[in-house]
Amino acid sequence: MKKENIYILGIESSCDDTSAAVLCNDEILSNVVADQKIHAEYGGVVPELASRAHQQNIVPVVHQALSGAGISKDQLSAIAFTRGPGLMGSLLVGTSFAKSLAYGLGIPLIDVNHMQAHILAHFIDEKGHQKPPFPFLAMTISGGHTQIVKVTNYFEMEVLGETIDDAVGEAYDKSGKTLGLGYPAGPEIDKRAQLGNPKAYKFTKPKVEGLNFSFSGLKTAILYFIQRETKANPKFIEENLNDICASIQYTIIGILMDKLKLAVKQTGIKHIAIGGGVSANSGIRKALKDAEKKHGWTTYIPKFEYTTDNAAMIAIVGYLKYLEKDFSDFDVMATARLKI
Ligand code: KG4
Ligand code: ZN
């Protein structure tokens, strides 16, 4: 007997991207992301503006995802949505929309943990992308998250370490602000870092026990360093920008790699999957490739569009939960501080 196709609509609205995706089994048919330019003016995400923009975007984004996939809403098997963690006002938009649509269509509703979704994005069926074997280590690095997780099975995950203050992407963005770069500054720092000397300036790495991270001290150290140097030479930034960016990047990648090496040592697991916006970074990609040769690791990096916040990753979790018949009640609540 031919197996019936399962169509999942995924909805993501945890931060500043409104996204909807349609999946047929584990293959993506469409993945639409409306990012919100408005936050650039403020140098960071403004929660109230994000929530309002989600309200404006959600209907056209879902509509575009369905038409891009070439299916009608009556063909959907279930609707998966981000329950948390994230900004409450933003989560509420996606949660309420998903509930009403699923209720109206009479199909199951599936709640998804955003952090699990970043990891399970590796199980989207994609030509050329190898899925990591269990158990593996996942490092999620973005503007909102910095976490190392031991993944024993799809829904058996253990957080080994996470940031105790800023996320790694924030360290990029806040250092960029100090240097007068636009928001988000990660891509620009990365571009300039490749043209500069990584050992031009030395920033001390934070001393944090075990597998937790801290980035707020580094941000402050960079601020004081720039204030001191520009006092002596007002043109310090413009004359040395590439070297400054290279030195910041060298420090940040060093911090991430030290923790990954410790996680490998503690667990004996050498399959490493990364995700989140910062996984686009040339420095981390190169460091991982080097570790493959030097330490025998196997590393996994998903396609960029599935690594930043997107609904395809929500839909794949929806599919995996659908197979388990793990559905939500309609009184499920958005939860800003949801744990893995
Ligand atoms: O995953 P994402 O799109 O959104 C969340 O924060 O959840 O990640 C955005 C973050 C920003 O902080 C941005 O500066 C950073 O990812 N980023 C980068 C690079 N591309 C994006 N950081 C360093 N190097 C990059 N190439
Ligand atoms: Zn995210």
pLDDT at 302: 85
Closest-lying ligand 1 atom to the alpha carbon of residue 168: 12
* Mutation probe of ligand 1 site: the residue of 13, 82, 172, 245 with most atoms within 8 A of C-beta: 172
| Tokens 């996606």 sit on residue | 94
pLDDT at 173: 95
Dist. CA 106 → ligand 1 center (Å): 37
| Residue 141 marked as a ligand binder | yes
Closest-lying ligand 1 atom to the alpha carbon of residue 15: 7
Dist. CA 296 → ligand 1 center (Å): 27
| Residue 17 marked as a ligand binder | no
| Residue 142 marked as a ligand binder | yes
- Stretches in the chain below the pLDDT threshold 70: 1-2
Dist. CA 303 → ligand 2 center (Å): 15
| Tokens 């790495």 sit on residue | 205
Per residue in 289-309, pLDDT (tens digit) is: 999 999 999 999 988 899 999
Rounded to whole angstroms, the Cα distance separating 238 from 244 reads 10
Residue 175 in tokens: 């250092």
Q: Please, is 8 exposed, middle or buried when counting C-beta atoms within 10 Å of its C-beta (0-12, 13-18, 19+)?
A: buried
Dist. CA 308 → ligand 1 center (Å): 7
| Residue 314 marked as a ligand binder | no
| Residue 86 marked as a ligand binder | no
Closest-lying ligand 1 atom to the alpha carbon of residue 283: 24
pLDDT at 37: 81
Q: Please, is 268 exposed, middle or buried when counting C-beta atoms within 10 Å of its C-beta (0-12, 13-18, 19+)?
A: exposed
pLDDT at 39: 80
List the beta bridge partners of residue 81.
11, 111
pLDDT at 1: 56
pLDDT at 3: 72
Q: Which ligand is nearest to the CA of 114?
A: 2
CB of 314 within 8 A of CB of 12?
Answer: yes
CB of 152 within 8 A of CB of 158?
Answer: yes
Residue nearest to atom 22 of ligand 1 (CA): 186
pLDDT at 44: 79
